[in-house]
């Protein structure tokens, strides 16, 4: 019986589903006196949409939320772009929509030498890793470009507290084993006591 329980606990450890890491980005700043906040999430295993270009990585963003002046903006997600060459290293985000079609264009670009050395999707960075920042909005209709000021851009792993980690599964399995072992020991002691009398 104990072997069966141990085998089931071991199988539960091996059978823990592998969850792809989720990356989250939060961009905060101001444009034209309005607070701007952009949030996005993407899978760390997301494919490069420009695999033939060794200098440019394009990673589709979905979902994406943009707030300008505290008002949520309806936008079509575009991509997180990574460009690496001997002259420039940059990472940027933009949203689809042409300003002359009535949609605001918002763009954020970070440039400078950083830990990013290829067009692969970076797992973590902050705006502090870059020396040059471009942050602007092209207004809907007029396409007037309004410069902005970036407060922070943080990009990194998003922890999902609802999914138990492998170590948590291990502790749960260990606790079950201890409970089962204690029950078996008590039963054997009881049976041994009964046999003696």
Nearest-angstrom CA–CA distance, 79 and 47: 12
CA separation for the pair 40, 94 (Å, rounded): 11
Q: What is the pLDDT of residues 88-103, one digit of tens each?
A: 788 877 665 677 777 7
Residue 90 has a pLDDT of 84
pLDDT tens, position by position, 110-126: 999 777 889 999 999 99
- Which residue is listed with tokens 């990009």? 155
Alpha-carbon torsion angle 115, 117, 120, 125, nearest 10 = 20
Distance CA 110, CA 132 (A): 6
**Poorest-pLDDT segment among 7-16, 55-64, 67-76:** 7-16
Mind listing the pLDDT tens digit for each residue in 124-150? 999 999 999 999 888 878 888 889 999
Supply the pLDDT for residue 13. 46
Residue 17 has pLDDT above 50, yes or no: no
Tokens of 71: 């008002």
Comparing 1-10, 22-31, 88-97, 139-148, which segment has the lowest mean pLDDT?
A: 1-10
pTM here?
0.67
- Structure confidence at residue 82 (pLDDT): 93
Q: Tokens 């471009």 label which residue? A: 134
Mean pLDDT, the chain, integer: 75
């Amino acid at each position: 019986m104990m072997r069966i329980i141990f085998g089931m606990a071991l199988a539960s450890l091996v059978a823990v589903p592998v969850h792809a890491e989720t990356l989250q980005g939060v961009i905060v700043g101001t444009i034209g006196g309005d607070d701007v906040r952009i949030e996005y999430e993407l899978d760390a295993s997301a494919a490069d949409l420009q695999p033939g270009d060794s200098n440019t990585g394009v990673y589709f963003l979905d979902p994406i939320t943009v707030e300008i002046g505290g008002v949520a903006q309806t936008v079509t997600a575009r991509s997180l772009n990574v460009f690496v060459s001997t002259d420039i290293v940059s990472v940027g985000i933009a949203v689809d929509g042409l300003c002359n079609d009535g949609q605001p264009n918002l763009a954020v670009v970070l440039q400078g030498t950083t830990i990013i050395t290829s067009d692969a999707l970076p797992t973590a960075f902050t705006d502090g890793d870059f020396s040059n920042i471009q942050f602007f909005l092209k207004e809907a209709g007029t396409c007037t470009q309004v410069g902005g000021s970036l407060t922070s851009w943080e990009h990194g792993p998003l922890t999902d507290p609802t999914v138990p980690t492998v170590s948590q599964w291990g502790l749960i399995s260990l606790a079950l084993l201890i409970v089962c072992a204690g029950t078996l020991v008590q039963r054997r002691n009881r049976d041994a006591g009964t046999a003696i009398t």
